């Protein structure tokens, strides 16, 4: 009953061979913000995913929110990522880079200049940064962005997207989910601005829309996707008007003809359905509440219901480099080991076994 997973699907410029997408996962193994050959091997092993979306990658130094996450804002970083894209393409894979600016989910510890993180408003996250040498550090209250800063940020993202293409990526995904910068503009509890970027819904979506416009102009709308997480409370987000907010965002972004929208669903199936109705191109759904061992049947049912064009999983791919083959064969799945999600070496990274040929 999983046959519909193994039908082709068009996403942007690509005709993908099946519908199981690898969702983005931060793995914190990029020392000095540079990916290395172990990371190239990790993604190469997973090139059988219909589409790989990389770990969140900072478009600028201030966009970094965690230790040992990679960047895409320097020539050295572009060259390092090139090894990843070459390895994935050699195996026939398609790979988008997730651009993640964490906004208030940041800390002076991470920045060379020791300055404050930047966010739409000076509202502290209440969260902490994990460090290897100083334990957990409270996030400070971020500096509120000036209007000039917003224009600069859009430039930084746009340059980063060009860098992603130069590094060989097939496209980029803007991380608009999980309480990071774009989401901080969308939600009223993190956006207290009184200018054109805050207040009513049409103002709170402005940053996302201008960003999409700028990046789409730079690399082509069919190489651009956006991830959203309606109603998600992660990172102390508290949207008060999720239905109205995402309806307005979907409506404003629809005319651009992006490659896809990627919906990280936590609790609002009604909003997933609204997005599906109103979105003109592909919908990738990262569904809430699914037992991983039933991923195949679950994905198939979602596709059958017409809720999405493709279904993304994170931990399934983390632990199963050949998840598509296992699902197709109904083979048992490797279980993921949370202790090795972040940091460390190849263990819990490139040593999850594939099925024997």
Ligand X SMILES: Cc1cc2nc3c(=O)[nH]c(=O)nc-3n(C[C@H](O)[C@H](O)[C@H](O)COP(=O)(O)O)c2cc1C
Which lies closer to ligand X via its Cβ, residue 105 or residue 198?
Answer: 105
Which of 62, 204, 223, 227 is in the footprint of ligand X by CB under 6 A?
Answer: 227
Determine if 286 is a binding residue for ligand X (CB under 6 A): yes
Under the binding rule (CB under 6 A), the answer on residue 25 touching ligand X is yes
Q: Where in 94-123 is the site for ligand X (CB under 6 A)?
A: 98, 100
Q: Is 180 a catalytic residue?
A: yes
Q: Does 228 bind ligand X (CB under 6 A)?
A: no
Question: Which is closer to ligand X, CB of 218 or CB of 333?
Answer: 333
Distance CA 191, CA 182 (A): 10
Of 198 and 316, which has the nearer Cβ to ligand X?
Answer: 316
CA proximity to 106, closest of 158, 180, 176: 180
Q: Which region, judged by CB under 6 A, interacts with ligand X, from 18-26, 101-109, 114-122, 149-157?
A: 18-26
Minimal distance, residue 263 CB to ligand X, in Å: 10
The reply to whether 55 sits near ligand X by the rule CB under 6 A is yes
- Please tell me which residue in 157, 180, 260, 349 is annotated as part of the active site: 180
Which of positions 301-320 make contact with ligand X (CB under 6 A)?
A: 313-316
Residues 74-101, buried b or exposed e (16+ Cβ, 10 A)? eeebbebbbbbbebbbeeebbbbbbbbb
The verdict on 56 binding ligand X (CB under 6 A) reads yes
Give how many residues touch ligand X by CB under 6 A: 19
* Active site (catalytic) residues: 180
């Amino acid at each position: 009953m999983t046959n519909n997973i193994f039908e082709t699907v068009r996403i942007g410029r690509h005709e993908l061979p099946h519908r199981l997408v690898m969702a983005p996962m931060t793995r914190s193994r990029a020392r000095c913000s540079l990916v290395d050959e172990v990371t190239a091997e990790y993604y190469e092993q997973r090139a059988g995913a219909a589409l790989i979306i990389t770990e969140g990658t900072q478009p600028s130094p201030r966009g970094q929110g965690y230790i040992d996450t990679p960047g895409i804002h320097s020539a050295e970083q572009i060259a390092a990522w090139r090894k990843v894209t070459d390895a994935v393409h050699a195996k026939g894979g398609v790979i988008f880079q997730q651009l993640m600016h964490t906004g208030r989910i940041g800390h002076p510890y991470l920045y060379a200049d020791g300055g404050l993180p930047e966010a739409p408003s000076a509202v502290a996250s209440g969260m902490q940064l994990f460090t290897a040498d100083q334990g957990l550090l409270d996030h400070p209250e971020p500096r509120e962005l000036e209007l000039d800063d917003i224009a600069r940020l859009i430039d930084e993202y746009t340059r980063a997207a060009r860098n992603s293409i130069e590094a060989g990526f097939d496209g980029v995904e803007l991380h608009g989910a999980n309480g990071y910068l774009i989401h901080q503009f969308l939600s009223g509890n993190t956006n207290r601005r009184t200018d054109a970027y805050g207040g009513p819904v049409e103002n709170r979506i402005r940053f996302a829309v201008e960003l999409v416009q700028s990046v789409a102009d730079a690399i082509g709308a069919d190489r651009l996707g956006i991830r959203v997480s309606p109603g998600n409370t992660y990172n102390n987000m508290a949207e008060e008007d999720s239905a109205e907010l995402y309806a307005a965002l979907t409506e404003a972004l629809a005319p651009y003809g992006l490659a896809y929208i990627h919906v990280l669903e936590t609790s609002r199936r009604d909003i997933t359905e609204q997005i599906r109705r109103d979105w003109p191109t592909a919908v990738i759904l990262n569904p809430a509440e699914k037992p991983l061992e039933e991923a195949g049947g679950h994905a198939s049912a979602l596709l059958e219901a017409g809720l999405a064009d493709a279904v993304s999983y994170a931990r399934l791919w983390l632990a199963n480099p050949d998840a598509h083959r296992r699902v197709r064969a109904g083979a048992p799945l490797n279980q993921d080991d949370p202790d090795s999600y972040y940091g460390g070496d190849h263990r819990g990274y490139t040593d999850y076994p594939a099925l024997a040929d």
